[in-house]
Structure 1
Amino acid sequence: MKDLQEILKITREVGWGAAKLLRSYYHGTAQNPNLDVQYKQNEPVTVADVAVSEYILSQLQAAFGNEEFGYISEETYKSQQGKNSAELVWIIDPLDGTRDFIDKTGEYAIHIALVQDTRPILAVVAIPEAEKIYYATKGGGTFVETVDGSRPLKMAADKPMEDLTLVVSRSHRNERLEYLLKNLPCQKQKAIGSVGCKVTAIVEQQADIYISLSGKSAPKDWDMAAPELILTEAGGKFTHFDGKPLEYNTGDINQWGGLLASSSQDHEILCQKAEQTLAEFVAK
């Protein structure tokens, strides 16, 4: 395997290139700016999703090949069902927050993660409209990069529980999640689009907690793998409610159950409270 820092350097360059391409669609300056929205499993897909997916895959495959590395992208996953047998697997979301992209909120992101043995070891999350790239390697910390250079990010986890701010979706809401949010000790909320934007808001200390609750469907590996490493390498925690770590490339791309990401020293207590509250909801 190439040196992880060498892989990171190339991945950051791919992230910047993908962000530039995606912005050209967002601002209508692409060669074919018509977004041509289609729906798969009730989720919107645009030509931008497909174009950026093709760009990221072609760049990574040109740099790293197919022998050591496998590739799982949201836009190509259906053609490669099951667990990827490579030891190192790229997990890619070319456009996280397609609804926000279409609705022009600016809150969309690009996720690129490298997973080894079900856990991420490298991550890049690009926020095109902020012209920022967040990157992390396992044990190497989290950094944010702009045109002015890079700086490390480390979160302080010292707020009382009732002062914590939950970052929530504008869509993807249901009765169980509403009940849970209403009954947690922290009641401040901030609505932000994509998972990448939510997690980087926590890393930038503009929010403190993000909760994902699967229902009929669940978030996918590509929604969580890159943001998770960005958060945990900055000092946060991202687990299932029962404290188990998330796993990727297991053969099931769905991240079922309750997931909680936080910068809080009370992460375990919040997980327990979330589990208890959901049990109460079921018993109602």
Structure 2
Amino acid sequence: MKELQSILELIRPIGWGASDILRSYYRGNKQDDLNIEYKDDNGKDPVTAADLAVSNYILQQLKNELGSEEFGYISEETYQKQDGKNNSEWVWIIDPLDGTKDFINKTGEYAIHIALVRNKRPELALVVIPEAEKIYYAIKGSGTFVETRNGERKSMRVSECKNPQDLTLVVSRSHRNKQLDYLLEKLPCQNQKSVGSVGGKIAAIIEQQADVYISLSGKSAPKDWDIAAPELILTEAGGKYTHFDGTPLEYNTGDISQWGGLLASNGQCHEMLCQQAERILEEFAVNKE
């Protein structure tokens, strides 16, 4: 298999190409051709022609460059055609459009995630933020970098803010429920910044515009493709991303849903915030009864 650095050099242009496709839908001549449909009956999980076009593009480009003998592929838009866990040692996990609602609603806060996973853990990742014209990328053990459209690259590190009251939470506009609202109200960090996609939220932490992101599963849960790439770019920039009980996230396990409470942070107060989150949720459950 090619070395990870060589693979990264191959896929960064794929990231830019995927970004160009999304922006062509987002900004002009294809905006009326989104063909919005919904994966469920409640109208909460939209998929567009842009999702499908980018998924097809990324999968085709990766397979052209790397083939299918050594690599498996899991994409949000093709997963329903697959049967559980992919048995390849190396598996690509792809979200062609993270933040479809933000894409449709024109907030600009959408992203593309591409991660390469081995033994249930990410080894290489790209998170593309098309409207910022930035690609964040990381290889396990080698740090996180950002590349701009003009080719400039620089290393990224999370903030070193240690005071819980000074930490900024990055929150969702749409994925909210009473349990999550209760938790956010009780945490010591009350500064909040709203950002759409998970990739955008983690990019905000890497850019030191925020420090903490929390997600809770309810009737549904974040999926592997929502988190695999953002996790690696965060941890390689010095942050942490775990379950509330401190256990690491795992991918390609046969269940693509990441159930429970997940906390991403700059790492400075991570364990304390996880413990507080568990305690607050227990309190919520008692009050609900």
Deviations 1:156-215 (A, max 9, x none): 323311010100000010000000000001111111000000000000000000001000
Q: Note if 1:137 corresponds to 2:139.
A: yes
Rounded to whole Å, the distance in 2 between the matches of 1:264 and 1:85 is: 33
What is the TM-score with the length of structure 1 in the denominator?
0.98
The residue type paired with residue 261 of structure 1 is: A
Rounded to whole Å, the distance in 1 between the matches of 2:173 and 2:257 is: 21
Deviations 1:25-58 (A, max 9, x none): 001234x851111000230000000000000000
Correspondence list, 1:1-284, <5 A: 1-30=1-30, 33-41=32-40, 42-148=44-150, 149-284=152-287
Task: Compare 78-87 and 155-164 and name the one that shifted more.
Answer: 155-164
Task: Compare 150-159 and 136-145 and name the one that shifted more.
Answer: 150-159
Secondary structure at 2:33 match in 1 = coil
Deviations 1:83-138 (A, max 9, x none): 00000000000000000000000000000000001000000000000000000000
- For structure 1, the 5+ residue unaligned runs are none
CA contact (8 A) 2:93 2:114 kept: yes
The residue type paired with residue 23 of structure 2 is: R
CA contact (8 A) 1:141 1:152 kept: yes
Rounded to whole Å, the distance in 2 between the matches of 1:274 and 1:85 is: 35
Aligned length: 283
Secondary structure at 1:253 match in 2 = coil
Rounded to whole Å, the distance in 2 between the matches of 1:188 and 1:156 is: 15
The residue type paired with residue 58 of structure 1 is: Q
Rounded to whole Å, the distance in 1 between the matches of 2:285 and 2:275 is: 16
CA contact (8 A) 1:238 1:259 kept: yes
CA contact (8 A) 2:122 2:232 kept: yes
CA contact (8 A) 1:95 1:109 kept: yes
Identity rate, percent: 68
Secondary structure at 1:273 match in 2 = helix
Rounded to whole Å, the distance in 2 between the matches of 1:81 and 1:173 is: 30
Rounded to whole Å, the distance in 2 between the matches of 1:133 and 1:88 is: 22
Once the 2 structures are TM-superposed, how far is the Cα of residue 153 of structure 1 from its aligned partner? Answer: 0.4
Instruction: Kindly report structure 1 stretches of 4+ aligned residues shifted beyond 3 Å.
Output: none
Rounded to whole Å, the distance in 1 between the matches of 2:283 and 2:180 is: 13
Secondary structure at 2:199 match in 1 = helix
CA contact (8 A) 2:171 2:194 kept: yes
Rounded to whole Å, the distance in 2 between the matches of 1:147 and 1:104 is: 21
- For structure 2, the 5+ residue unaligned runs are none
Rounded to whole Å, the distance in 2 between the matches of 1:106 and 1:155 is: 23
CA contact (8 A) 1:158 1:264 kept: no
